[in-house]
Amino acid sequence: MWQRGGVHSSAPVDVDLALVGGGGAASLVLAALDRHDVGGLRIAVVDPVHRRGQDRTWAFWDHPGNDLDPVLAASWQQVEVATPERRRVLDLTPLRYAMLRSGPVYDRAAEAERRLGVTRIGAPADVLDDDGDRVTVRTGDGGPVVRASWVLDSRPRPPRRAGRTNWLQHFRGWWLEADGPLFDPSRAILMDFRTPQPARGVSFGYVLPVSDRYALVEYTEFTPSLLTDAGYDAALAGYRDLLGLDPSRLRVREVENGVIPMTDAPFDPRPSPRVVRLGTAGGATRPSTGFTFSAMHRQAEQVARALAAGRPPVPAPAYPRRHRWMDAVALRALDRGGVGGPEFFDRLFDRNPASRVLRFLDGTTTPAEEVALMNTTRLVPMLAATLGDAAGRLRDRVDPTRRGTTWTVPPAVVGDRSPADG
Ligand SMILES: Cc1cc2nc3c(=O)[nH]c(=O)nc-3n(C[C@H](O)[C@H](O)[C@H](O)COP(=O)(O)OP(=O)(O)OC[C@H]3O[C@@H](n4cnc5c(N)ncnc54)[C@H](O)[C@@H]3O)c2cc1C
């Protein structure tokens, strides 16, 4: 364990706010606290790992002109959505599609920690004992390491019980460096459904270019289970070939693997009075897309504003309840084969302004816009999924064994390919 100033101590640190888990969600909270006037707040971060460097790339859409501008790796006003039938270019104005690499996000959080005088505890937290007034954070041996008025807990953890649909968004990406101009940096490929489709689920590729010679090219599946290492490499090489990229002109500089839950299972955002869960563990991952970043960013701002105003650091739910219901229905329709994934997304983008679809996927549309969106999906399968979802909810209510079911997100398949293999 280490603490501020390198002091080792077995007495618990007394703070106002403890961040348990110091990854994406906590890094955004630290930067937001630094931006707001939270002077005098005593803060601790508990995480066995001090996250640094490039371990993930975040892509998301937002309105330009916010705190993320200085740390963005790239942003695009135009994106492409491709299906076997057509390639559609979408103008996102007034939104943008943006990419952030984790390194600058972690660096910014480290700088915020320094300025806020945060105590860092490099140990894994285990139990959080909440007496309603203070929370004691304990490590595996039961030792108390922190006592806090509030805990923001973003440790990865499974949902309260399994969902009715439990899918994974899983992917492998290569950061490709070309020997000459090969990519179009003015445009990203958001979703390219020309990839061979799995028997159950959806697959797509995408391209995020930061320059004409450097881009992240990724292969993604929304399916119930993972591929093998060789399976990801083959799918990604296939997508590279589909794009017409000559491998002899490319070097793989970095490899990125990930698994994100796509489920209607309940994540508990408030497990006890003074513990608030953030990030994926708190339900910030949108079930129908796996996108998480925008909700984490939104909630970080809400937490910081609340603390600056002397209020409890409890953000609004990551997504409105009706969005979680619509996602459960959409996931069910995709899973039970009623709706094809490429067709589903193609129709959404074909029949709605891009900014409406993207705001819907972020959970920020109005009910009237959602009705308009729903009207553009195929009626019969969506109706069948709606009825199936209602029946599933009823079954869950009357069958208590359902409440005991569990589901966990498996770790990503990490290959042994060296980035320089090309
Ligand atoms: C490779 C990858 C790419 C992604 N790309 C996107 C994207 O493009 N867009 C998007 O919207 N979302 C994306 N996501 C999803 C989501 O945004 C990220 O997973 C994000 O990092 C989630 O933040 P988090 O804080 O919930 O979890 P994490 O960032 O994983 O942080 C959890 C932290 O908890 C710590 N921890 C674990 N156990 C303990 C313990 N016992 N005690 C204390 N600390 C502990 C870990 O060390 C870690 O630092 C991606 C995810 C991955 C894995």
| pLDDT at position 336 | 84
- Spatial separation of the C-alpha atoms in residues 46 and 123, rounded to whole Å: 6
Cis bond before residue 94 (omega within 30° of 0): yes
User: Both tokens of residue 107?
Assistant: 């660096």
- Ligand 1 midpoint to CA 23 (Å): 5
Q: Which of left, alpha, beta for 28 (phi over 0: left; psi -120 to 50: alpha)? A: alpha
Atom index in ligand 1 nearest the CA of residue 281 equals 26
- The rounded distance, in Å, linking the Cα atoms of 280 and 282 is 5
The answer to whether residue 422 scores a pLDDT higher than 70 is no
* pLDDT for 290: 92
Answer yes or no: is the C-beta of 59 below 6 A from any ligand 1 atom: yes
Kindly report which listed range (48-62, 73-87, 291-305, 393-407) carries the lowest average pLDDT score: 393-407
Q: Beginning with the edge strand found earlier in the chain, give each strand of the sheet holding 78-82 in spatial order.
A: 87-91, 78-82, 187-192, 202-209, 214-223, 166-178, 250-263
Span of 12-21, 42-51, 136-145 with lowest mean pLDDT: 136-145
Residue 24 gets which letter from DSSP? Answer: H
Structure tokens at 366: 């109005």
Ligand 1 contact via 60 beta carbon (within 6 Å): yes
Out of 4-8, 269-273, 306-310, 383-387, which region has the weakest mean confidence (pLDDT)?
4-8
Ligand 1 atom closest to Cα of 27?
25
Supply 346's token pair.
Answer: 């193609």
pLDDT at 127 (0 to 100): 96
pLDDT bin (cut points 50, 70, 90) of residue 404 is confident
45: Cβ below 6 Å to ligand 1? Answer: no
pLDDT of residue 371: 85
Of all protein residues, the one whose alpha carbon is nearest to atom 46 of ligand 1 is: 21
Mean residue pLDDT across the chain: 92
Q: Which residue has the tokens 């019980």?
A: 161
Residue 5 in this model has a pLDDT that exceeds 60: no
Is residue 76 very low, low, confident or very high in pLDDT (cuts 50, 70, 90)? very high
Which pLDDT belongs to residue 9?
53
Predicted confidence band of residue 396 (pLDDT cuts 50, 70, 90): confident
What is residue 344's predicted lDDT score, i.e. its pLDDT?
82
- DSSP E strand stretches across 125-239: 125-130, 135-139, 144-153, 166-178, 187-192, 202-209, 214-223
Least confident of 116-120, 210-214, 374-378: 374-378
More confident residue, 32 or 387: 32
Q: What is the mean pLDDT of residues 192-209?
A: 96
Establish whether residue 49 lines the binding site of ligand 1, counting it when its CB lies within 6 angstroms of any ligand atom.
yes
- Alpha-carbon distance of 211 to 43, in angstroms, equals 39
Banded pLDDT at 7 (limits 50, 70, 90): very low
Q: In the prediction, which pLDDT does 6 show?
A: 37
Q: What is the pLDDT of residues 307-320, one digit of tens each?
A: 999 999 999 999 98
Percent of the chain exceeding pLDDT 70 equals 96
Comparing CA positions, the residue from 274, 208, 196, 272 lying closest to residue 236 is: 196
Closest atom of ligand 1 relative to the 294 alpha carbon: 11
Q: Which residue has the higher pLDDT, 63 or 416?
A: 63
Distances in whole angstroms, Cα of residue 362 to Cα of each of 60, 260, 270, 327: 9, 16, 21, 12
Are 388 and 144 in contact, with CB atoms under 8 Å apart? Answer: no
In the prediction, which pLDDT does 24 show? 98
Q: Cα separation of 303 and 269, whole Å? A: 13
Q: How far is CA 56 from CA 19, 257, 309, in A?
A: 20, 8, 33
- From 275, 13, 38, 33, select the one nearest 133 (Cα to Cα): 275
Instruction: Copy the structure tokens of residue 157.
Output: 């953890």
Nearest CA to ligand 1 atom 37: 155
* DSSP label at residue 360: H
What is the per-residue pLDDT for 169?
97
Overall average pLDDT of the 113-141 stretch: 96
Peptide bond connecting 209 to the previous residue in cis, omega within 30 degrees of 0 = no
User: Which is it for strands 72-76 and 57-62: parallel, antiparallel or unpaired?
Assistant: unpaired
185 CA distance to ligand 1 middle (Å): 27
- Indicate the angle between helix axes 321-335 and 379-398, nearest 10 degrees: 110
Output the six-digit token pair for 330: 């959409």
The DSSP 8-state label assigned to residue 53 in this structure reads S
Dist. CA 400–CA 409, nearest whole Å: 23
> In the chain, pLDDT over 90 holds for what percent of residues?
73
What lies within 8 Å, CB to CB, of 302 at 6+ separation is 315, 316
Residue with structure tokens 């001090």? 50
Mean pLDDT, rounded, for 316-338: 88
**Cα dihedral 362, 365, 367, 368 sign:** negative
Rounded Cα gap, residues 49 and 44, in angstroms: 14
User: Residue 362 and residue 260: Cα distance in Å, rounded?
Assistant: 16
- Is residue 4's pLDDT more than 60? no
Higher confidence at residue 365 or residue 404?
365
Q: Could you read off the pLDDT of 240-260 as tens digits, one per residue?
A: 999 999 999 999 999 999 999
pLDDT above 70: residue 419? no
Contact 272, 128 (CB under 8 A): yes
Q: What are 218's two structure tokens?
A: 């990724």
- Dist. CA 418–CA 395, nearest whole Å: 49
Quote the CA–CA distance of 79 and 62 in Å, as a whole number.
14
Least confident of 9-13, 75-79, 222-226, 406-410: 9-13
pLDDT at position 417, please?
Answer: 63
pLDDT, tens digit, 9 for 90 and up, residues 154-182 = 999 999 999 999 999 999 999 999 999 99
Quick check: 2 pLDDT over 70? no
